[in-house]
Amino acid sequence: MSVTELDIRLDAAPPPLALAKAALFLDLDGTLAPIAARPQDVVPDPRRTGILDKLMTGLEGRLAVVSGRTLSDIDRILESRVPAVAAVHGLVLRDVDGVIRQAKPHPALPEAVAALRLLAAAHPGMLVEDKTLSATLHYRGAPEQGQAARMEAERIAARTGLALQPGDMVVELRTPGPTKGDSVEAFLAHAPFTGATPVFLGDDLTDEDGFAAAQRLGGYGVLVGPARATAARLRLDDVNAALAWLEAAR
């Protein structure tokens, strides 16, 4: 019996992933790799790389990484094992042939970066990441400043027209454009993904568009982490559980 034929609760153990007809879409931070205090602290891992190599073979190329990170950062961490990548939440898309399409940066991004850096300078532990197409304020090192970070991001978004993307201990101001869900749909429209059942693994609020797209297109989402309100149909406890589930896929 397939996953789509089961009435699955988020607290139920997910059945093994069958690779034959699946198209797999994977978030990175909090899904394939533990979240680190600083983005640059996430590095390549032999276990993760080995899993991706196995999945690429078993899925016959129907594997894509869909992440908020930049394309270069994804390739660094995953050792360039996955050709199909949607970076910066879908604003950059590289297909299986290596062709890259990306949105045009919003003209207000330099202003947003400057404003976020001004806030970060006043609160040690905050970190600003300029991704060219978005500006991210990480406050994991200053969690007590979460409300201030969100309020400042909301003010900037209202003033500039940038899209506000909340996340796990981050706020991101991004160029309006494609989402993770749009990326799933774009990949499925072309070989080798065409006709496959989409499965999306993710942990954060930024992955909800991906879960919803997978469900809408005949597949399902898998939440990695504690149970919460979500469009995902399955849940895995943490990164280690997600890696083990992927290792067991056949």
CATH of 17-102+178-247, one of 3.90.1150.10, 3.40.50.1100, 3.40.50.1000, 3.90.1170.50: 3.40.50.1000
CATH number for the domain whose boundaries are 109-174:
3.30.70.1020
Q: What is the pLDDT of residue 5?
A: 35
Summarised one tens digit per residue, pLDDT across range 141-193 is: 999 999 999 999 999 999 999 999 988 899 999 999 999 999 999 999 999 99
Domains of the chain, residue spans = 17-102+178-247, 109-174
Cα 98 from chain centroid?
Answer: 19
- Backbone phi, then psi, for 39, in 5-degree steps? -55, -35
- Catalytic residue positions, numbered: 27
Summarised one tens digit per residue, pLDDT across range 196-239 is: 999 999 999 999 999 999 999 999 999 999 999 999 999 999 99
Answer for the pair 55, 246: CB distance below 8 angstroms, yes or no: yes
Dist. CA 177–CA 91, nearest whole Å: 6
Q: Does the pLDDT value for residue 3 go beyond 70?
A: no
Q: Please give the sequence-ordered ranges of beta strands (E in DSSP) within 39-194, or none if there are none.
A: 63-66, 84-87, 92-94, 100-102, 127-130, 134-138, 163-167, 170-174
Dist. CA 74–CA 223, nearest whole Å: 20
Model pTM?
Answer: 0.92
Closest CA to 233 of 17, 78, 8: 8
Comparing 8 with 85, the larger pLDDT belongs to 85
Q: Please give the sequence-ordered ranges of beta strands (E in DSSP) within 139-233, or none if there are none.
A: 163-167, 170-174, 197-202, 220-224
Summarised one tens digit per residue, pLDDT across range 85-131 is: 999 999 999 999 999 999 999 999 999 999 999 999 999 999 999 99
Tokens of 143: 């969690």
